[in-house]
Amino acid sequence: MARVPAMTTLTRAARDYVALRRALGFKMVEVSRCLDDFVRFARQERASRVTVDLAVQWAKLPATAQPVTWATRLRIIRQFAEYLRTIDPKTEIPPRGLLPGTYRRKPPYLYRNVEIQQLLQAARAMRSPTGLRAWTYATLLGLLTVTGMRISEALALDRRDVDLREGVLAVRRTKCRKERLVPVHETTREALLRYGRVRDRVHPRRKTEAFLMSENGLRLNHCSVREIFVRLSRAIGIRTPHGRFGHGPRLHDLRHRLAVSTLVRWYRSGVDVERRLPVLATYLGHTKVTDTYWYLQAIPELFQLALARVERAGAR
């Protein structure tokens, strides 16, 4: 049986593992990043193979992370170790449950209408050499607000995915690989049409097929978008000026806002929410309707509306 004698072999094994999984249809974006980091850590520790102690030491970094993050990191290494064991029998596989952690969904920040308007105004006021940055970020924030798309889905939109004639978005690169069509309101279609004209005037020779473009004519980068969003949210006062980067309202909360506002509107109008929930789940791209049910227990107002509906039904 072949032995893993050197760090270069561990590095190669990690790359082969990622390539194999991708060939099976897995994206492996986060796993690849974690394995690269683990190999660097192993090099620092002068370790040539995976051991339980090494895996746990790496998994518990950073020390300030939540236990669920540690558990997720260890799970990635355990799966890699299971593969590596077929190459090097001395590889140690971390036992399941060694670092238990339960994921707790962060309560959403529900933007008020005035805050949405302030965010859009701050985006429109952004300066850049061509003026495209303001158009791009105002369009992006508006699109996230009215569609509830994930930020990754919006950034992945290509021109062919945006039907400006029918007002339908084809969301292809999704979190759960569940493609869907997202119809938009006429006002949204017109806003996207205006953005497309400005974008093409600024960059008549396209460098990318992305619908939303950066100032230099390339696809928007998630990290850059998040950084600019933090600056905008600080500028309008919904995030402290010197708070930690990860603290405060998130772009993802725009998705929560759409889901919650839709459910509240349904309850107040008296429609059968139970029958409508699968429709909302499909629109949002949830793989399970239980992901949509989460809002009923996470939002006090929704819980009260649902409880009142049950009480009225019981009184009949």
AA identity, residue 160: R
User: Which secondary-structure segment (H or E) carries 169?
Assistant: strand 168-171
Active-site residue, selected from the candidate residues 73, 78, 150, 199: 150
- The residues, ordered by sequence, that sit 6+ positions from 31 with a Cβ below 8 Å of its Cβ are 18, 21, 76
Cα–Cα distance between 21 and 161 in angstroms, integer? 27
- Whether 242 is catalytic is no
> Is 256 assigned a catalytic role?
no
Catalytic site residue from 22, 180, 234, 252: 252
Residue 255 annotated among the catalytic residues of the structure:
yes
Could you tell me the CA-to-CA distances from 60 to 47, 66, 69, 71, 116 in Å, in that order? 17, 9, 8, 8, 38
Annotated active-site residue in 75, 133, 239, 255? 255
Q: Which of 33, 96, 124, 175 is catalytic?
A: 175
183 DSSP β-pair partners = 168
Active site residue 150: yes
Look up residue 210 and give its DSSP letter: B
Q: Is 222 a catalytic residue?
A: no
d(CA 256, CA 145): 9
CA distance 100 to 64: 16
Annotated catalytic residue 103 = no
CA dihedral of residues 8, 10, 15, 16 (deg, nearest 10): 110
What positions carry a catalytic annotation?
A: 150, 175, 252, 255, 286, 295
